[in-house]
Every structure is written in structure tokens, then in C-alpha cells.
């Protein structure tokens, strides 16, 4: 069982959680025992089950503690299977969580959701998917952050040494817009069945905007777009250019996926183009293979796509991890 605190009111409880450093600086939903119990039921796994450890504190992440973080973040029970999968992902060794939490770099887990769970949980993939206004995206991303604070012990200036941080450290979660994408879904490209629900999690910088005006009368237009994405993801000063041999995420919006598909490109050829062009500061190829460029179809229709450079450090160079979202184990849980 987790430790239980007492307070005279919800207001006092929130203030006490702020005082104890258990929040991300914003008010939280108070994780009362009954709320946490219901969230554990939504996980479909015993509350005492240990999922792994979260560094740098090396705290044991039980389902109950994770459920507490999900309650605090404002999650609905339907969101819990995605939170559970995302937590499992960041605790895989390849994610380098302990080092990532402690680095001076500005990096945060980006949770990309594929498959039917997006619709079950209402995960947005279009306009503003990474911004405010989408409850599932905001709550799921925040739940993982609150787990990393309270179970992993990451606190700014003492254990989380990010020099500045970025907005995505409050939470970064979005779906892939599979329905408007001409490409194979991300999870299918990583060996999963397209009908499975999967989270792919990777520590990233905040998104960099890449402007591109398509020109159907210019046959070089698709190549200009790909060159722009490669130059952005490996721009001067990024760790992909400084260290290299890491991974990165490229989120391409619908007008631009359509332009690339019309030019005969698919996920593989886009990754190959970017991997071939993106260079480190000393002229080496930054990405070891096209698979290290994680292409996601997401966002609204317009002139911009987005790149997410990464830290490229840690024992495994901060690699993406994909985990199946088990949506079949939970019971239907009443809420409020």
C-alpha cells in the first residue's frame, strides 16, 4: 500500500501536495483511496503488481502508484491502459529513463498512440494534438510526468537537471492520424499488427516547425520538403548533429503526406531520404538507418510539418520503445 496523507478539504490536500513537491506546479485531482482504487480497476492489473523501477530515485512503479499519478493528472479510467503501456515503455532499458530524467538536456517522453485505443480513449491526432484542449492527450501525458516525478523522483535542480526544460515536460501525447495517412502506421512499421493498439514512447525536444509550400508545378517540391525535414531534425546545435547515432521523430501533416505519397514516397523511402541527408557536425551520417527516423502522420492541414530531435545519449542513445496497449483486461469503471 502507498502512504496515505490526511487533509481537512480538497483545497488543503492540493496545497499539501504542492508543498511536498508531488505536483508539476499545477493543481491536481486529489488521489483519494477510492479514486485510486477505481483507477486500479481500470488498469485490469493487481494494484500491488510491480511494473518496474523509475530512475533516478529507482522507485518501484506499482500499478497502484501509477493509478495515483493518473488520478492526479485528471485521467478517466478509459485512459489508464494507455498510461500503463507508456509507463512500461519508459521503464524498458533502451529508453534510458534514469539518465534522461537527470540530464541537463531538455527532453520529455513523447507518447505516440496507434490502433483502436486512440478511438476508445479519444486521443486526438489532428489540429493541435500536442497542445492544450484535448483531455485524453493532456491527461495521459501528464500522468506519465507525475509518475516520473513521484515514483522516479525527478525534481528540477536537484535530480532533474534540465537547464531550461520545455513545455512538453508537462506531457506529450498524441495519436497517429492513421485514417488520413497514406502510409503504413508507425506501429505496423515496427512489427506490430495494424489492428493492435500500441504506444511508442521516445524522449524528445519540443517540436521544431518546418515550413514548406508545395508547388505542384515544380517537380522538385517533394524533395525540397524532405530536405527541409532532414536539415531541421539535424540542424546545427541539435544533439542529432552534435552526437548523432540516435533517433528522431518527424511528424508530417496531411497536406504534406499527400504530396509525398503522390510523388511515390512511402514511409521507408522518406526515412531513407532523411537518413541519407542528415549529417552530424563532422559530416557523418547522423542516423544509422532509416528506421531511426520515426515518421508519424499527425496534425492539421497546412504549411508546416514538425521534427523532434532527441538527446542521442544514455547507454542506448535514448531509443524509442513500443508497447502493446492491453484494452481487454479492464472492467468498466464508474467515475464521478
Partner 1 sequence: MRDGLNAANRGLPAVALVTEEFWPQGDFVASAFGMPGIPRVQLPHPVAGTGVENMRRVAEKVAAEVLAALEGSPR
Minimum distance of partner 1 from residue 263's CB (angstroms): 13
Selected range binding partner 1 among 99-107, 142-150, 200-208, 212-220, rule: CB under 8 A:
212-220
Minimum distance of partner 1 from residue 226's CB (angstroms): 15
Grid coordinates standing for 45? Answer: 492489473
- Of 259 and 326, CB closest to partner 1: 259
By the rule CB under 8 A, 221 interacts with partner 1: yes
Selected range binding partner 1 among 41-49, 54-62, 109-117, 208-216, rule: CB under 8 A:
208-216
Residues in Cβ contact with 136 at an 8 Å cutoff, skipping those fewer than 6 apart: 76, 78, 79, 82, 121, 122, 123, 124, 173
SS3 state of residue 202: strand
Residues in Cβ contact with 133 at an 8 Å cutoff, skipping those fewer than 6 apart: none
SS3 state of residue 313: coil
By the rule CB under 8 A, 214 interacts with partner 1: yes
By the rule CB under 8 A, 128 interacts with partner 1: no
Cis amide prior to 23 (ω within 30 degrees): no
Site string for partner 1, 273-302 (x = CB under 8 A): ---------------------------xxx
- Of 11 and 127, CB closest to partner 1: 127
- Of 152 and 254, CB closest to partner 1: 254
By the rule CB under 8 A, 177 interacts with partner 1: no
Among 1, 163, 164, 216, binds partner 1 (CB under 8 A): 216
By the rule CB under 8 A, 213 interacts with partner 1: yes
At which residue does the C-alpha cell 492527450 appear? Answer: 137
- Of 214 and 333, CB closest to partner 1: 214
- Of 120 and 261, CB closest to partner 1: 261
Separation between Cα atoms, residue 110 and residue 131, nearest integer Å: 13
The answer to whether 149 and 101 are in contact (CB under 8 A) is no
Site string for partner 1, 241-280 (x = CB under 8 A): --------------x---x---------------------
- Of 18 and 224, CB closest to partner 1: 224
Minimum distance of partner 1 from residue 219's CB (angstroms): 11
Q: Which helix or strand (DSSP H or E) is residue 143 part of?
A: helix 135-150
- Of 262 and 276, CB closest to partner 1: 262
SS3 state of residue 279: strand
CA–CA distance from 51 to each of 23, 65, 97 (Å)? 22, 10, 14
At which residue does the C-alpha cell 499527425 appear? Answer: 298
CA–CA distance from 191 to each of 92, 293, 318 (Å)? 17, 15, 20
How many C-beta atoms lie closer than 10 Å to residue 74's C-beta?
A: 18
DSSP state of 79: G
By the rule CB under 8 A, 179 interacts with partner 1: no
Separation between Cα atoms, residue 313 and residue 51, nearest integer Å: 24
Among 195, 217, 282, 332, binds partner 1 (CB under 8 A): 217
How many C-beta atoms lie closer than 10 Å to residue 282's C-beta?
A: 8
- Of 1 and 216, CB closest to partner 1: 216
Minimum distance of partner 1 from residue 215's CB (angstroms): 5
Contact residues for partner 1 (CB under 8 A)?
213-217, 221, 255, 259, 300-303
Amino acid at each position: 500500500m502507498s502512504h496515505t496523507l490526511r487533509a481537512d478539504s480538497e483545497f488543503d490536500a492540493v496545497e499539501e501536495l504542492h508543498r511536498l513537491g508531488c505536483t508539476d506546479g499545477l493543481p491536481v485531482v486529489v488521489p483519494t483511496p477510492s479514486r485510486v482504487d477505481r483507477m486500479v480497476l481500470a488498469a485490469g492489473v493487481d494494484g500491488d503488481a510491480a511494473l518496474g523501477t523509475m530512475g533516478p530515485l529507482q522507485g518501484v512503479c506499482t500499478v497502484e502508484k501509477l493509478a495515483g499519478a493518473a488520478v492526479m493528472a485528471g485521467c478517466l479510467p478509459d485512459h489508464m491502459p494507455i498510461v500503463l503501456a507508456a509507463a512500461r515503455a519508459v521503464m524498458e532499458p533502451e529508453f534510458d529513463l534514469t539518465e534522461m530524467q537527470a540530464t541537463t538536456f531538455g527532453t520529455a517522453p513523447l507518447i505516440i498512440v496507434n490502433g483502436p485505443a486512440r478511438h476508445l480513449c479519444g486521443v486526438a491526432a489532428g489540429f493541435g494534438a500536442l497542445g492544450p484542449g484535448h483531455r485524453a492527450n493532456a491527461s495521459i501525458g501528464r500522468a506519465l510526468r507525475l509518475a516520473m516525478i513521484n515514483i522516479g523522483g525527478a525534481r528540477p535542480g536537484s535530480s532533474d537537471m534540465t537547464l531550461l526544460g520545455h513545455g512538453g515536460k508537462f506531457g506529450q501525447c498524441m495519436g497517429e492520424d492513421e485514417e488520413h495517412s497514406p502510409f503504413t502506421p508507425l506501429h505496423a512499421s515496427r512489427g506490430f499488427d495494424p489492428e493492435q493498439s500500441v504506444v511508442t514512447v521516445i524522449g524528445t525536444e519540443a517540436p521544431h516547425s518546418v515550413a514548406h509550400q508545395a508547388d505542384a508545378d515544380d517537380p522538385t517540391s517533394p524533395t525540397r520538403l524532405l530536405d527541409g525535414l532532414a536539415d531541421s531534425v539535424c540542424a546545427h546545435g541539435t544533439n542529432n548533429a552534435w552526437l548523432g547515432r540516435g533517433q528522431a521523430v518527424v511528424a508530417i501533416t496531411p497536406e504534406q503526406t499527400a504530396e509525398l505519397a503522390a510523388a511515390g514516397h512511402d514511409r521507408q523511402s522518406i526515412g531513407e531520404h532523411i537518413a541519407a541527408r542528415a549529417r552530424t557536425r563532422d559530416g557523418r551520417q547522423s542516423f544509422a538507418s532509416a528506421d531511426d527516423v520515426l515518421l508519424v502522420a499527425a496534425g492539421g492541414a497546412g504549411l508546416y510539418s514538425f521534427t523532434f530531435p532527441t538527446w542521442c545519449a544514455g547507454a542506448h542513445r535514448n531509443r524509442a520503445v513500443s508497447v502493446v496497449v492491453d484494452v481487454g483486461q479492464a472492467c468498466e469503471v464508474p467515475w464521478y
